[in-house]
């Protein structure tokens, strides 16, 4: 055992210890027979995505590789555990991505961590993250069987947030597992394909499985009516897979690139319809002047009137990544992607304070709420340049390159979105 591993166990020994103690270290499947869902189909492998750091910022392959390696090393391998790291190894060959600001483990971080590690060919770390997720976060029985526990809400320092089934994280689980199957193949001990298919079935068909909405009690004794993650009529993803969230969601949950890939991998037309619906809604819910997305929106695209008013805030930053990934993987839809990307980047360019100094949150009409710059927002706006036709898009990319690897209390969210933006802009976020 390395000193880092020993210290990380001491640091996080209280994180879901009871759940870990009862679980083995295998990657056994979700308890479903893969034949119940069929096999993953072959996926069309596209040409490598553009290396925007090279083409726009004139960076060499060696410089780009060093930039990505430095970030991964600090956040996932050898960074100081108190101020730099977000990845921590656990007993029984498991690992977690830890939200150090809110002091919890979120499926958001676990899913993004799995996507990052599969894209960087880090199978050992990928397996440890997935092993922990299945052992400590998954519901193995009851109405929510197959879903994964998480925390939702932006919250404040030291506050865990609300217990929830976070659709964002679970979608990234499914996406990362399909990519892992394509990159490394599935085996009895590494059943990536059957795990992906089982999770997709749960996300789409939970209400059918349960015969409607059923109540489940979470760890905090809050009763919820649990259903499917996707609305069967509109094909849009819900904010949470509960009856209370029917009819609205967040733009940051809409992942058309993932749904199009799921359609190929499963042959299920539902996911093609979900991809089309998500693309349309990403455009419909963006403000017509600023391009900013509200914290929540109804399925018709209108903003939910969250108090004090609809606003673009931290959780919406992930929307830029979703749009960028769709531009990379589905360039045939470039017209809509580019129109929205140009509107968003045009707003931030119009702030006139420099592309590393604009604020963190805004009303939908562009009034600044929080003027303090956020590294995560600078990162995702740079990533969005891959979908943009603006003449100043290089400046957004250069702003990402100029950033230091995130550290300190906010390094969980800043670090994950920074890593994702590096992969987008280096052409390393690809289909396997």
Rounded CA gap, 284 and 55, in Å? 31
Rounded CA gap, 108 and 175, in Å? 13
Q: Provide the pairing of β-strand 150-152 with 223-226.
A: unpaired
Sign of the torsion angle spanned by Cα atoms 382, 48, 74, 410: positive
Mean pLDDT across the stretch 336-349? 96
Predicted confidence (pLDDT) at residue 223 exceeds the cutoff of 80:
no
pLDDT in tens, 109-125: 999 999 999 999 999 99
Virtual torsion, Cα 121, 123, 129, 134, nearest 10 deg: 130
Predicted confidence (pLDDT) at residue 220 exceeds the cutoff of 70:
no
Q: Taking a C-beta distance cutoff of 8 angstroms, is the pair 137, 150 a contact?
A: yes
pLDDT in tens, 117-157: 999 999 999 999 999 999 999 999 889 999 999 998 776 77
Rounded CA gap, 344 and 292, in Å? 6
Q: Provide the mean pLDDT of the chain.
A: 89
pLDDT in tens, 287-336: 999 999 999 999 999 999 988 889 999 999 999 999 999 999 998 888 88
pLDDT in tens, 81-92: 999 999 999 999
Q: What is the pLDDT of residue 158?
A: 66
Per the rule left: phi > 0, alpha: psi between -120 and 50, beta: everything else, 391 is: alpha
Q: In what order do the strands lie in the sheet with 368-370?
A: 311-312, 361-363, 368-370
Q: Taking a C-beta distance cutoff of 8 angstroms, is the pair 259, 274 a contact?
A: yes
Beta bridge partners of 399: none
Taking the model in full, what pTM does it have? 0.91
Predicted confidence (pLDDT) at residue 374 exceeds the cutoff of 80:
yes
Predicted confidence (pLDDT) at residue 189 exceeds the cutoff of 80:
yes
Q: What is the pLDDT of residue 95?
A: 98
- Ordered domains of the chain (ranges, CATH): 1-18+84-246 (1.50.10.10), 247-432 (1.50.10.10)
Under the banding of pLDDT at 50, 70 and 90, the label for residue 219 is: low
Rounded CA gap, 390 and 136, in Å? 45
Under the banding of pLDDT at 50, 70 and 90, the label for residue 217 is: low
């Amino acid at each position: 055992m390395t000193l880092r591993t020993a210290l990380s166990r001491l640091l996080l020994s209280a994180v879901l210890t009871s759940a870990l103690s009862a679980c083995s270290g295998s990657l056994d499947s979700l308890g479903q027979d893969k034949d119940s869902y069929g096999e993953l189909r072959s996926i069309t492998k596209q040409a490598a995505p553009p290396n925007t750091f090279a083409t726009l910022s004139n960076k060499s392959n060696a410089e780009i590789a060093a930039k990505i390696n430095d970030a991964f090393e600090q956040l996932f391998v050898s960074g100081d555990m108190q101020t730099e790291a977000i990845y921590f190894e656990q007993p029984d060959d498991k690992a977690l991505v830890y939200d150090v600001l809110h002091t919890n483990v979120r499926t958001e971080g676990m899913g993004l961590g799995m996507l990052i590690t599969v894209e960087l060919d880090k199978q050992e770390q990928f397996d440890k993250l997935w092993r922990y997720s299945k052992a400590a976060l998954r519901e193995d029985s009851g109405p929510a069987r197959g879903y994964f526990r998480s925390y939702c809400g932006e919250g404040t320092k030291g506050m865990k947030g609300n217990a929830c089934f976070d659709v964002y994280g679970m979608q990234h689980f499914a996406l990362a597992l399909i990519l892992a199957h394509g990159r490394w193949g599935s085996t009895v001990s590494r059943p990536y394909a059957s795990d992906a298919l089982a999770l997709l079935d749960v996300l789409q068909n939970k209400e059918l499985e349960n015969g409607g909405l059923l109540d489940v009690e979470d760890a905090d004794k809050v009763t919820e009516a649990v259903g499917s993650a996707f609305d069967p009529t509109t094909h849009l993803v819900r904010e949470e897979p509960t009856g209370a969230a029917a009819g609205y969601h967040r733009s940051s949950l809409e992942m058309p690139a993932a749904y199009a890939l799921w359609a190929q991998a499963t042959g299920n037309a539902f996911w093609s319809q979900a991809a089309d619906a998500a693309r349309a809604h990403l455009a419909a819910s963006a403000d017509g002047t600023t391009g900013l997305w509200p914290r929540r929106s109804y399925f018709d695209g209108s903003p939910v009137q969250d108090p004090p008013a609809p606003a673009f805030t931290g959780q919406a930053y992930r929307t830029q990544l979703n749009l960028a990934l769709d531009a990379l993987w589905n360039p045939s839809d470039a017209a809509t992607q580019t129109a929205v990307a140009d509107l968003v980047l045009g707003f931030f360019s119009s702030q006139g304070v420099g592309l590393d100094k604009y604020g963190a949150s805004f009303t939908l009409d562009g009034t600044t709420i929080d003027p303090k710059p956020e590294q995560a927002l600078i990162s995702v706006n740079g990533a969005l340049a891959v979908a943009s036709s603006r003449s100043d898009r290089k400046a957004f990319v250069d702003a990402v390159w100029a950033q230091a690897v995130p550290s300190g209390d906010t390094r969980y969210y800043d670090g994950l979105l920074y890593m994702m933006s590096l992969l987008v802009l280096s052409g390393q976020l690809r289909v396997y």
